[in-house]
Amino acid sequence: MKVLYNISIFFLGLGLRLLSLFNAKAREFVVGRRDIFKELSSALNGNTEPLVWVHCASLGEFEQGRPVIEALRSDFPEHQILLTFFSPSGYLVRKNYAHASYVFYLPLDTARSARRFIEIAKPRLAIFVKYEFWFHYSRMLKKKKIPLISISSIFRKEQYFFRKTGSFNRRILKHVTHFFVQNQESVDLLRSINFYNATISGDTRFDRVKEIADRRDENEIARTFKGNEKVFVIGSAWQEDLQVLLPFINEGKLKFIIAPHEIHSGQIQELQRSLQVKSVLYSQSANTDMDDTDVLIIDNVGLLSKLYRYGEFAYIGGAFGKGLHNILEAACYGIPVMFGNKHFQKFQEAVDLINRGGAFPVADYPDLKKKYEMLNIPETFMHACQVCRQYVEENTGATEKIMRYCRQILNKHS
């Protein structure tokens, strides 16, 4: 199995190099790693401060790692933070993240790359977020006696770790010093394969979204757009989501803030052509009469989490495609949340909020309209708002549980 794993990593690299000839994302994946060890060595040359390595697959995992990074920065200001990403979609957005000392791509998981990377970085502690389990990196960390913790991880019985043929995958888990998991099911599954080094901490995203909501940052453009009207905020909308949403938007009964998943000019123009109501781009809204505008289209990155506060309702995209995006960014403001009814089941917060009456999966336009009309009943609306608000408040505290463990490790070396 180790040989097959190494072969799969080799062909992954080869496939990405071929794909990079005509795919921009693959090209960035390859080019961004081209001189990675030279750049890493240059950046860390002469560093004498202790270093913590935090690895995230992409932007979603970064949001789970972010509260821990910022807590580490606060508690251990003398420590350097090395942040790595697997995906360009995470690296390109957060390569200038202020709380990290260094931000790099993670080289592909080969024995040679893992040894070189860890010998250059020399971390005191490694933190991998959620689903990141790499054989050679975790094995080298254990060989070097560097603690590795997995945070906000969540396990399901269909994963390879829990199959009869999953012995190699279980070997990877043996390299992890401690698991901070999201739920009891994950603890039980780990115990079923004789792993007892797990703590239920919950999901650090709750801490992050509550912090954003508590700051109550104002956005003048969104505030002016809302005025005294009801607003429906649509976040991370894919084309499949918009097919359901557009007939509802074109009824013209509400104001909408729409943040498309892709903000390339072609997709934005296509969205505007599909609208039968007046719309404006956020970037061009300075001299627009907002009273006469029905749709505000967000054509930049980084604003969405702060815009849900202007909504009475939210719809989060992704569930009709690869998977649901972050619904907690909306739920923390105490507003009911809708999303597609296809691929949400593996997201614990979506299942929990549906069961409690704060979230509502929709199948199509008629179903969306039905759920919206139901939420216009005051009792139903107020119950959904209260459920969402309480759910977020009940689940905060994961960061502090993880930090207690980190302090024990890092204080040993101080």
212-250: per-residue pLDDT in tens?
Answer: 899 888 999 999 999 999 999 999 999 999 999 999 999
| Segment 253-299, tens digit of pLDDT | 899 999 998 888 788 899 999 999 999 999 988 888 888 899 999 99
| Segment 363-374, tens digit of pLDDT | 999 999 999 999
Residues 300 and 263 in one domain: yes
| Segment 71-102, tens digit of pLDDT | 999 999 999 999 999 999 899 989 999 999 99
Q: Is the pLDDT of residue 379 over 90?
A: yes
Residue 185 is given by DSSP the state H
3 state DSSP class of 103? strand
Q: Is the pLDDT of residue 320 over 90?
A: yes
Residues 330 and 408 in one domain: no
Range 192-205 average pLDDT: 94
107 found inside a domain = yes
At residue 141 the predicted structure's pLDDT band, cuts being 50, 70 and 90, is very high
Mean of the per-residue pLDDT values for the chain? Answer: 93
Residues 120 and 137 in one domain: yes
pLDDT value at residue 412:
81
At residue 303 the predicted structure's pLDDT band, cuts being 50, 70 and 90, is confident
pLDDT value at residue 106:
96
At residue 414 the predicted structure's pLDDT band, cuts being 50, 70 and 90, is low
Q: Is the pLDDT of residue 40 over 90?
A: yes
Q: Is the pLDDT of residue 393 over 70?
A: yes
Residues 187 and 232 in one domain: no
pLDDT value at residue 2:
86
Residue 158 tokens read as 């269909």
Q: In the beta sheet, which residues pair with residue 340?
A: 362
151 found inside a domain = yes
Contact 195, 230 (CB under 8 A): no
Range 342-347 average pLDDT: 90
pLDDT value at residue 286:
84
CATH number of 136's domain: 3.40.50.11720
Q: Is the pLDDT of residue 404 over 70?
A: yes
Please tell me the chain's helix, strand, coil percentages from 3-state DSSP, rounded to the nearest 5. Answer: 50, 15, 35
Residues 71 and 59 in one domain: yes
Q: How many residues does the chain have?
A: 414
Range 388-414 average pLDDT: 92
Q: Domain containing 286: what range?
A: 218-394
209 found inside a domain = no
Residues 375 and 236 in one domain: yes
Residues 37 and 158 in one domain: yes
Residues 379 and 402 in one domain: no
211 found inside a domain = no
Residues 114 and 160 in one domain: yes
pLDDT value at residue 81:
97
Q: In the beta sheet, which residues pair with residue 54?
A: 83, 127
The pTM is what? Answer: 0.84
pLDDT value at residue 184:
92
186 found inside a domain = yes
Residues 246 and 192 in one domain: no
pLDDT value at residue 263:
80
Q: Which strand ranges, in their side-by-side order, compose the sheet holding 337-340?
A: 279-281, 295-297, 255-260, 231-237, 313-316, 337-340, 359-362
Residues 370 and 404 in one domain: no
208 found inside a domain = no
170 found inside a domain = yes
Cα distances (Å, whole numbers) of residue 94 to 29, 98, 99, 152? 15, 9, 10, 20
Residues 180 and 117 in one domain: yes
Sequence-distant contacts of 135-141: CB under 8 A, at least 24 apart:
135/2, 135/5, 135/109, 135/168, 135/171, 135/172, 135/175, 136/109, 136/110, 136/111, 137/55, 137/106, 137/109, 138/172, 138/175, 138/176, 139/114, 139/172, 139/175, 140/111, 140/114, 140/115, 141/175
Q: Is the pLDDT of residue 413 over 80?
A: no
Residue 330 tokens read as 């909306």
CATH number of 269's domain: 3.40.50.2000
210 found inside a domain = no
Instruction: Work out how many domains the chain is built from and give that number.
Output: 2
What gap in Å lies between CA 7 and CA 1, rounded to an integer?
Answer: 10
Q: Is the pLDDT of residue 348 over 90?
A: no
Range 347-352 average pLDDT: 92
